[in-house]
Amino acid sequence: MTTNTPDLLTALSCPIPISDYPTVLMAHGGGGSLSQMLIERMFLQAFDNPTLELMHDGAVINLPPAMSEENQGEGTRLAFSTDSFVVNPLFFPGGDIGSLAVHGTVNDLAMCGARPLGLSAGLILEEGLPMDDLWRVVQSMQGAAQKAGVSIVTGDTKVVDRGKGDGVFINTTGIGLIPAGVHVSPLRAQPGDLVLINGDIADHGIAIMSMREGLEFETAIESDSASLNDLVEGVLAAGGEHVHVLRDPTRGGVASALNEIAQKAGVGVQLVEKQIPIQEQVRGACEILGFDPLYVANEGKCIAIVAPEAADEVLAAMRAHPLGENAAIIGEVVAEHPRRVFMRSRIGGLRVVDMLSGEQLPRIC
Amino acid sequence: MTTNTPDLLTALSCPIPISDYPTVLMAHGGGGSLSQMLIERMFLQAFDNPTLELMHDGAVINLPPAMSEENQGEGTRLAFSTDSFVVNPLFFPGGDIGSLAVHGTVNDLAMCGARPLGLSAGLILEEGLPMDDLWRVVQSMQGAAQKAGVSIVTGDTKVVDRGKGDGVFINTTGIGLIPAGVHVSPLRAQPGDLVLINGDIADHGIAIMSMREGLEFETAIESDSASLNDLVEGVLAAGGEHVHVLRDPTRGGVASALNEIAQKAGVGVQLVEKQIPIQEQVRGACEILGFDPLYVANEGKCIAIVAPEAADEVLAAMRAHPLGENAAIIGEVVAEHPRRVFMRSRIGGLRVVDMLSGEQLPRIC
C-alpha cells in the first residue's frame, strides 16, 4: 500500500514548515493554495496510495473482478466521497447546513460519474443546540435526500461541550456506482475541449456572506445549493465518452476548480469573461464585498469539460434541466500555458486566474 | 424510499419533547438511553428506510444482482459505516484520536462481518491547532491504517475559528465487502447462544478518564484501541454460520451493547460476573472514579454471540490471536426476560444490567 512503514513515518518531521505555519490557520481550510499545501505535503505524503493520488472529488474503488462479466468487461466501480460541513450560519437563504450536507456529497459522487447508493451522516452537536434547530436540520437532510433519490443509511452522533463546537457540524460520506462506459477524471482534460457550466456563478458564497454582513438587496440572494445527480445523468446521456471531466466548483470557486484540473492534466484553460453567467445582483454584491466571483463558492454548479463535437448536445442537455437554464460554454482547454488558467476580459485583455492564495470566505460550507 | 414527503415532514413537530429537552445535552451523545431516544425518535423517523432500521454498527447495501453469479448466489454486499471522533484529550496512553478514528471504523465494518475496502477521513480542525499535533495525528492514522491493511482513499479538511472546535475532530467512514456465507446481525441472537468477548473490559474509558482526572497508577492504564478485523477473520473462519452477532462495545460499554442486541432480537442475555475479564488496576480505578466497568467504553473489544456448538472453536480462535489472549465466555442468550440483560454477581445474586440512562463518560471517543 505504501513504502513508508509506521516507524519511518514517525521519524519524519512535519512536512509543513513549522517556522512559517506553527499552527493551523483558517486559510488551511479555505480551498486555496494553503489548503492545497496541507493536502499535498501532509495528507498525500502520509496516506500515500494510488487511489488518493488522483485528488478527484471522490475515490474510485474497483471491486474484485469476479462479478464483472455482464458489465462490459469492466469491474464494478464504486465512487466514495466524504465532506464535512461547518457552514455559519446554519440557516441561510436558499438552504441550511442539512440540505447542503446532502447536496455536497451527492454532487461529489455525481462528479465521479456515479449514481448514489447511500449516504452516511455523522453529526457533531454542541451542547445547548436548540433541539428544534436540530430537528429542522434533520428534516432538511431528509428532504434533500428524497429529492436526490438517495437514502441516509447509517449515521453517528457525538455531542461536545458548550464552546467546543458551533451548533452542528455534519459529515456526509457517500458511495455510488459508476455505470459501465462512464470515465470522467481530471486527467482527461485535453486541448480543444470546451468548458461548460450549468448556470450563474457565486450565488452560494454571496448568499452566506450577505447574510453574515447584513447586506440587503431588493430580492434576497439565495444559495444555489442543489443536488446535481439528475442533471449529470442528462449530461452523460448526451455526451457519453466525450464528457471528460466533471467538477463542482465549491470552496475556492470556478477559479480554483479549473486551476486544479489544469495542474492535474498538464493543460491550460482559457475562460471568456463575458460568457460566464452571473446574476447582476451577485456581481454587485461581489463588488461591495470585495470578492472576485470566480473565487466564490457554488453549491449547485457543475463544470463539464467536454470534447468539442459533443459540446452542443451537452449544453442542450444542461439547458433542458431545471438546474441548467443558464448553462453556458465559458472557455476552452488549450495547449498553451500548461497548468495555468487565463481569462479573456470584457475589454479584451488576457489575465491570469491564479489559485486562491489566502482564505477568502471562511466557513462557507 | 419513504412515505414521508418533505412537506409532510416539515409539518411535523419535533419528536423529542421540547419541554423536557429544549436543547441538546451531553448525554444525547453518551451512548445511553438519551442517545437512543434521539436516534430512534428523531433520526430513524426522519431518515426512515429499511437499511437504517437495523441499527447495526453499519449499513449493509446490496449491489445490483447482475454480478453475483460466482458469489454463491448472493449479491455483492457492502458494509458502510461512519463514526465521528471527538475524544478529549487528543493524545492518551495507548493511542490518540488518529489511530482511534481508524480502529473505530475498521471495527464497525468488522462487526458487519466485512473486510475493509477503503476509509475516508474528514477532519475538522480548530484554528490555532499546533501544526505538529496535526502531523502526529495524521501519522498515527496512517500507521493504524497500514496495520489494519486498509487505505485512506479520500478525505476532506475544514477549519473552524478558534473557540468553535476543539483541536481536531475526525470523521472516518468505511466501506467493506461482506464475504459470501457471512451473516451476522443483532437479529440473529437466539436462546442458547453463548456470549464471548476477546479480553479485558473498560481499558479505553479508564485510560482516558484517569488521564483527565490526573490519577496515577503503578503502571499506566492503556487504551485497548486496536483494529479487530484480523481477529474477526479468525472468529468467522472458526465459527462460520454459527457466528450470529458481532458487536464492539464502545460508548456505553458491554452493558449498552448487550441491551441493544437484546432489544433488537427480543431475547434476554444473562452475564456471569466472575467470567468477565478485567484488569485489577482497571477495576480499582473504576471504584475510585465511581464507574461500573460494564458501562465503560472499549475500543479493541469484540462481543461475539455464537451458537453453543461453535463456542469452543471461536474461543480458541480468539485466544490464538494477540488481541484475544484473555478471551472468555461471559454469558448466554436466554428466552427468559426478553429485551433485558441480567448478571449473576460474584456472590450469586441476579441483578438487572440496564441501559445507561445518563451520560457517564463524555467525549471518550
CA B291 to chain centre: 19
Residues above pLDDT 90, as percent of chain B: 78
The pLDDT, as a whole number, for residue A70 is: 46
Residue identified by cell 489566502 is A358
Mean pLDDT of A35-64: 84
The continuous run of DSSP H or E covering A51 comes out as helix A50-53
Domain B69-178 has CATH 3.30.43.10: no
Cα dihedral sign for A94, A100, A102, A104? Answer: positive
Q: Which of B155, B158, B363 sits opposite A160 (nearest CB)?
A: B363
Q: Tally helices (H) and strands (E) across chain A.
A: 11, 14
**Residue B362 confidence (pLDDT) above 70:** yes
A305 phi-psi bin (left φ>0, alpha ψ -120 to 50, beta other): beta
Does residue B357 or residue B73 have the better pLDDT?
A: B357
- pLDDT class for A159, splitting at 50, 70, 90? very high
Query: Closest chain B residue to A65 measured between Cα atoms?
Result: B67
Tell me the one-letter amino acid at B33.
Answer: S
| Integer CA distances (angstroms), B12 to A135, B46, B343, in order | 10, 10, 41
Mean pLDDT of A302-311: 98
**DSSP letters along B295-325, please?**
GS--SS--EEEE-GGGHHHHHHHHHTSTT-T
Cβ proximity of B289 and B206 under 8 Å: yes
Cβ proximity of A224 and A199 under 8 Å: yes
Residue in A88, A158, A251 to test binding to B, most B beta-carbons within 10 Å: A158
Between chains, do A161 and B70 touch, taking CB under 8 Å as contact? Answer: no
ipTM of the assembly? 0.93
**Residue A11 confidence (pLDDT) above 90:** no
The pLDDT, as a whole number, for residue A76 is: 87
CA distance A183 to A189: 12
**Residue B147 confidence (pLDDT) above 50:** yes
Residue-wise pLDDT tens digits, A220-259: 899 999 999 999 999 999 999 999 999 999 989 999 999 9
> For chain B, what percentages of helix, strand and coil (3-state, to nearest 5) are there?
35, 25, 40
Please tell me if residue A275 touches chain B, with a CB cutoff of 8 Å: no
The pTM assigned to this predicted structure is: 0.93
The pLDDT, as a whole number, for residue B219 is: 78
Q: Which of A94, A110, A119, A109 is nearest to A230 (CA)?
A: A110
Name the β-bridge partners of A341. Answer: A269, A353
> Do A186-352 and A69-178 have the same topology in CATH?
no
Cell of residue A318, nine digits: 444542461
Q: In CATH, which of 3.40.50.2000, 3.90.1300.10, 1.20.120.1200, 3.90.650.10 is domain A186-352?
A: 3.90.650.10
Domain extent listing, chain B: 69-178, 186-352
- pLDDT class for B158, splitting at 50, 70, 90? very high
Q: Which of B43, B67, B160 sits opposite A68 (nearest CB)?
A: B67
Does residue A176 or residue B67 have the better pLDDT?
A: A176
